[in-house]
Structure 1
Amino acid sequence: MKKQDADIKIVRYVCMIIFLVFFGFRGYLDTDFMLYYPLYESTPVITDIRGITNFFSINADDFILKIEPGFKVLLVLLKSISPNYFLLQIVSSLIDVLFLNYFFKKYSPQYVLGFMMFCIFSGLIIEINLLRNSKAIFIFIYSLQFLKDRNPYKYFICNSIGLLFHSSAIFYFPLYFFLHKKLHPAFVWGIFVLGNVLYLGQIRFITPLVISLGNLLGGVYELMAEGYSKDSTYSSGYGITIGYLEKIIIFVLIYKFYSKIVECVNDERTVNIFFNLLFLFTSTYLLLSEFSVLIDRITTLFAVSYWILFPYLYATLERWAKMVFSCVLLLFGIYRIYKTNFIITRKYENILWSNPSISKAYYIANKHLEKILNPKKEH
């Protein structure tokens, strides 16, 4: 038994090291470095009192003012250790992998499969392009234990901390009141059918609601709502894609196995949490189809459901079915990662064996920015 536990620990450590080396020591990938590199360069060190005052001031440049205070604190601490921007990426990935290790140890019956699902479903984008969002997402993941145990104080404290890193954490607050419950099947399938009708019919109803909600909340939310609703780059729908078919099939398949998963896990409240996150993931994808930026940002908040429900599903299968499942998942995973990452700005470099150039990265990103913002939709 001790040898088995030691082997499991070795597997976990190997997964964490691979994750940290791959993501933490990456070069300048995708486009978010265009925001975070100059931000890190302009961040003051902890001994620069005047600089820190300006950095956290409400009179700061719009560029800096939009950054949440918790992330600013992290920037100041890291900049005080080293002026090298790559320290931010390394520490960011280290924080994330520690959260993921805790999460998969606690909830996933297949630790390695959990990491694989993370990479296939939204994880690459979360790590490479969502440095602030990722902290809110992983803090929410940590808070799920308090949601399950019905401890509102710890749950809301955790997500309030998440809110200090990214404003999207506001969407996690109302989940406390229903995420642990089994939703009535009529409600689930009713929303599912309605979502498909609105999606396939490309019926626009979200834009006025988004603008009204932004006006109600004010501040950064109002600016975001107005900006995104007026920009066709962010407010165009997706239409029927492989991604749409993928989500529909996965939703129906996993819901079909609900009873078997509950029987296998023997913890209905935990299963309900992840099933409801899957419901939110799928329904927001369908209902927000007219607002592509909302699909990208909000569905990512609930992608954690895939990371756990696939290992749950795998655990319920017979041996032969597990082999078929593994083969299909392998082929699908390769296809999905290829389709979502085979663009020039995601050409991988690692600082451990290469010397990435910031000027070259800027040149490539600026040259291909229009294609990046208006890709052929595969989501």
Structure 2
Amino acid sequence: MEPTFSYIYSIPYIILFLIYFVLFLWENKLRKDGSDIKIVRYLGMLVFFIFFGFRGYLDTDFAVYYPLYESAPTLSDSRGVAQFFSSVNEDYLLKVEPGFKVLLILLKSVTPDYFFLQIISSLIDVLFLNYFFRKYSPQYILGFIMFFIFSGLIIEINLMRNSKAIFLFIYSLKFIKERNAAKYFICNGIGLLFHTSAIFYFPLYFFLHKKFLPAFVWGTFILGNILYLGQIKFITPIVLALGNLFGGFYSIMAEAYSKSSLYSSGYGITIGYIEKFLTFVLFYSAYDKIGNFIKDEKMLNIFFNLLFLFTTTYLFLSEYSVLIDRMTTLFAVSYWILYPYFYATLERLFKTIFTVVLLLFGILKMYKSNNFIIRRYENILWDKPSISRAYFIFNKHMDKILNPKK
């Protein structure tokens, strides 16, 4: 019998991290010698594409997207296309955003093989990341490493629709800087067609480029820590009040979420909390030094304000773990870009210390994040993943994964 938890499941992810760590060292050597890093960049993209694009049935999203892809019509089936988009259809699996449905129909018209969806999805994602890290990051590979360590794995493996909304938002950051509202809202409007979470990006246009007052930043951070460490519940009463106001289904769901230990319990003092606390303090303490590298004041404000949103969201929403997971992921891009800039500000000795800490923390993160059976890695280039076996593992082990203390 296969165990639910084992270090064996983490090994491919640790190897992935180590490959990028070596590429990171190679990139630094090339930069020191004044050489072009194009070979490192291409290798980084290729490894990403092969690892994620050709993966088997990982985690839980296949349970939604496999049947959805199977039910998607082709362009030649006009009646099926109309029915696929019809609001009359009450099948939960078909209640996904229209932009993603269009993508499904286009890909299904090429091949009925579900893995084609994962391949194209990862190709789109790596092209976005390549654009982003080339444009903004002083350390190309370090950007990818931070992506893997901070939310990137779950984005790539388990948030196929969300990822498109997130990457379209990243692309639209330049429109905030340029104060081009039309392009910004069009870009994120397209993201909204892939996942409704993109709605949270819409208000950011109006303030993300502005510098927050230090008193406001640190005051909010301190208050968030008090609420987090004191486990002071202020969201639960709001959720229950809204549920009672709307009544019916909403009241039942509000009650269920509020009482569920799975969804409503805070995280407490964890490695994740310590990491976020230290990152926030380190980055804001190095604000001026990082600003000397970014130089563009609006982009500097954008990335630091995203960090502020990421950290405060984590602290203020601690009583609802499901909200922490969903909301912080929207702003994780701040880590992917600010860590490379923070590294660039360090002197040689501290860069060495940073590199050692990165190696140890990265291995620990890859181990802790992937040591359960639904993350057991398979690749269609050399394995033969079975959908029936994936469903069997999913049904047998999910309860224990979600409730490991039972």
Give the TM-score taking structure 2 as reference length. 0.87
Which AA in structure 2 matches 1:41? Answer: E
Q: CA deviation at 1:267?
A: 1.6
**Secondary structure in 1 aligned to 2:55?**
coil
Q: For 1:287-308, what per-residue CA distance to the aligned partner results, in whole angstroms no more than 9, with x for missing partners?
A: 0011111100110000000000
Q: How far apart are residue 62 of structure 1 and its match?
A: 3.5
CA separation of 1:159/1:293 partners in 2, compared to 1, >3 Å: closer, same or farther?
Answer: same
SS of 1:7's equivalent in the other structure is: coil
Q: CA deviation at 1:372?
A: 2.7
Question: In the alignment, which residue of structure 1 is the partner of 2:131?
Answer: 102
Q: Does 1:324 align with 2:343?
A: no
Per-residue deviation, residues 241-299 of structure 1 (Å, max 9, x unmatched): 11111110111111110010001222221111111111101100000011111100110
| Amino acid of the structure 1 residue aligned with 2:52 | F
1:168 partnered with 2:197: yes
CA shift digits 1:60-114 (9 cap, x unpaired): 1231343000000000111111110000000000000000000001000000110
Residue 261 in 1 paired to residue 290 in 2?
A: yes
Greater Cα shift, 250-259 or 54-63: 54-63
Per-residue deviation, residues 212-257 of structure 1 (Å, max 9, x unmatched): 7799999x99998777456442222211111111110111111110
Match of 1:47 in 2: 76
Residues 185 and 215 (structure 1), Cα distance of their counterparts in 2 relative to 1, 3 Å cut: farther
Amino acid at match of 2:233: R
Structure 2 residue 336 is matched with structure 1 residue 307: yes
Report if aligned partners of 2:64, 2:93 keep a CA contact under 8 Å in 1: no
- Residue 126 (structure 1) aligned with residue 148 (structure 2): no
Q: Is the 8 A contact 2:231 2:319 kept in 1?
A: yes
CA pair 155-115 structure 1, distance change in 2 beyond 3 A:
same
| CA 1:321–1:177: 2 relative to 1, 3 Å | same
Is 1:62 paired with 2:96?
Answer: no
Check whether the contact 2:289–2:345 (CA below 8 A) recurs between aligned residues.
Answer: yes
Counterpart check, 1:200 vs 2:229: yes
Paired residue secondary structure (1:10): helix
Equivalent of 2:386 in 357, 360, 366: 357
The 1-side partners of 2:125 and 2:252 are apart by 29
C-alpha offsets along residues 32-63 of structure 1, whole Å, 9 cap, x if unaligned?
11111111111111111121111101111231
The 5 A counterparts of 1:184-195 are 184-195=213-224
Q: Aligned-pair distance for 1:26?
A: 0.3
Give the AA of the match of 1:25: F
Match of 1:151 in 2: 180
1:274 is the counterpart of 2:303: yes
Q: Specify the alignment match of 1:138 in structure 2.
A: 167
The answer to whether the 8 Å contact 1:58/1:65 transfers is no
Deviates more, 1:138-147 or 1:180-189: 180-189
> Does 1 or 2 have the higher relative contact order (CA < 8 Å, sep 6+)?
2
Q: Distance in 2 between matches of 1:238 and 1:311?
A: 27
Question: Is this contact kept in 1: 2:73–2:105, CA < 8 A?
Answer: yes
- Per the normalisation by structure 1, the TM-score is 0.93
Residue number among 119, 133, 144 corresponding to 1:90 in the alignment: 119
- The answer to whether the Cα contact below 8 Å between 2:75 and 2:105 also exists between their aligned partners in 1 is yes
Provide the residue aligned with 2:314 in structure 1. Answer: 285
CA distance in 2, matches of 1:216, 1:247: 36
Task: Give the superposed CA RMSD.
Answer: 2.4
Contact map agreement 2:306 2:331 (CA 8 A) in 1: yes
Instruction: Note closer, same or farther for the CA distance 1:35–1:256 as it changes in structure 2 (3 Å cut).
Output: same
- Give the secondary-structure state (helix, strand or coil) at the position aligned to 1:368: helix
CA distance in 1, matches of 2:97, 2:58: 23
1:71 aligns with 2:100: yes
Partner of 2:62: 33
Gaps of 5+ in 1: none
CA contact (8 A) 1:139 1:158 kept: yes
Can you give the 5+ residue segments of structure 2 that lack an aligned partner in the other structure? 1-29
Question: Partners in 1 of 2:115 and 2:353 — Cα distance?
Answer: 41
Q: Structure 1 residues 125 and 289 mapped into 2: Cα distance closer, same or farther (>3 Å)?
A: same
Aligned counterparts of 2:255 and 2:98: Cα–Cα separation in 1:
23
Query: Would the aligned equivalents of 2:143 and 2:337 in 1 still touch at CA under 8 Å?
Result: yes
**1:335 shift after superposition:** 0.5
Secondary structure of the corresponding residue to residue 45 of structure 2: helix
Structure 2 CA distance, aligned partners of 1:11 and 1:353?
25
Among 99, 107, 114, the alignment partner of 2:143 is 114
Name whichever of 236-245 and 33-42 sits farther off. 236-245
Task: Name the SS for the 1:100 alignment partner.
Answer: helix
Look up the equivalent residue of 2:214 and give its one-letter code: P
- 2:63 & 2:319 partners in 1: Cα distance? 27
